[in-house]
């Protein structure tokens, strides 16, 4: 089953690797006998599904999550291995979509408005007056 990240990008199932292990958490006696924890890994560096530009973007943006060019996603939230597989696929698709998304527009710096500046200064004066009232009265 291929992983469709976007209409323009689909990762073939042959490039995805699976590993299963025992999961912690709920499940009673069943949890000790079933391998419901799922690890999904994909080698970004050797993938034929992405272009060179996309590969470079993924390698730079996801470098903290990569180990030797391989991205790994785990899922053990559910008791069922099938549901955990679906969750892992969704997590990987989200990461890859986020990694190849174009950067947003830069923020344009603006000055605070005259009204906001006046309100800020009035709040400072009010706060100072409140603190002045907390002082012990003079002995005079």
Tell me the pLDDT tens digit for each residue of 21-41.
Answer: 887 766 666 656 677 889 999
In contact, 119 and 126? CB cutoff 8 Å: no
Please state whether the predicted TM-score (pTM) of the whole model is above 0.85: no
Q: What is the pLDDT of residues 97-128, one digit of tens each?
A: 988 888 889 999 999 999 999 999 999 999 99
pLDDT value at position 25? Answer: 63
* Selection from 97, 32, 112, 37 nearest residue 62 by Cα: 97
3 state SS of 73: strand
């Amino acid at each position: 089953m291929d992983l469709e990240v976007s209409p323009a990008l689909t990762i073939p199932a042959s490039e995805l690797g699976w590993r299963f292990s025992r999961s912690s958490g709920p499940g009673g006696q069943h949890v000790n006998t079933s391998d419901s924890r799922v690890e999904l890994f994909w080698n970004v560096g050797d993938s034929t599904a992405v272009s060179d530009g996309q590969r470079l973007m993924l390698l730079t943006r996801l470098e903290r999550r990569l180990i030797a060019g391989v991205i790994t996603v785990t899922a053990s939230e559910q008791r069922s291995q099938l549901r955990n597989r679906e969750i892992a696929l969704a997590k990987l698709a989200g990461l890859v979509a986020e990694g190849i998304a174009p950067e947003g527009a830069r923020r344009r710096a603006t000055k605070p408005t005259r009204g906001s500046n006046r309100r800020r200064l009035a709040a400072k004066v009010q706060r100072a007056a409140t603190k002045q009232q907390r002082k012990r009265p003079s002995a005079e």
